[in-house]
Amino acid sequence: MSLVLVTAAWAHAYHASIMEARVNAKTQQLEVALKIFTDDLEAALSAGQPRHLSLAETPAARLTPLLAGYLRRTVAIGTRPGEALPITYAGQQVEKDAHWLYFSVKLPAAARGLTLRHRLLMEQFPDQMNIVNLEAGGKKQSALFREGNEEQRLSW
């Protein structure tokens, strides 16, 4: 039994997420796909709960508000520091040992940049790295978010 727990704990040696974001100029929305290790996401959603939450076994009607709420608590997107525009959660998809979460944010028409606060999983894992790849205004850029560097300005 303990061997199974040790093996599960070492499923991956690092804690990271990857956000693929694209500004859709026609709809003035930031469209986001966020990839997270399933076991890390389960740990975050289970924190403070009486028992472990399994993404595979939790009914969608209960899981959707949990995922959307967690995103809104850990990711904030605005056009200026401190602003958090409304996040519209679109759904999730399983890919091997990870989950993709999909959401969008409506941007003001004149937006030429955004401020992103990205604290996803940092409350669970001090070594958490959140990688962001943004495509906007014909330009691609990347940013790395870690403890102590949770908010950055991305312009296009």
How would DSSP label each residue in 85-147? PPEEEEEEEEETTEEEEEEEEE--TT--EEEEEE-TTTTT-TT-EEEEEEEETTEEEEEEEBT
Structure confidence at residue 13 as a pLDDT band (50, 70, 90): confident
pTM of the model: 0.90
Structure tokens at 105: 């944010």
Structure tokens at 36: 């997270």
Instruction: For 76-85, write each residue's pLDDT tens digit.
Output: 999 999 999 9
Average pLDDT, rounded, for the chain: 92
Percent of the chain residues past pLDDT 90, beyond the cut: 87
- φ/ψ (deg, to 5) at 56: -70, -30
Identity at 73, one-letter amino acid code = R
Instruction: For 32-59, write each residue's pLDDT tens digit.
Output: 999 999 999 999 999 999 999 999 999 9
Q: Which residue has better confidence, 12 or 38?
A: 38
For position 110, what pLDDT does the model report?
A: 87
Structure confidence at residue 12 as a pLDDT band (50, 70, 90): low
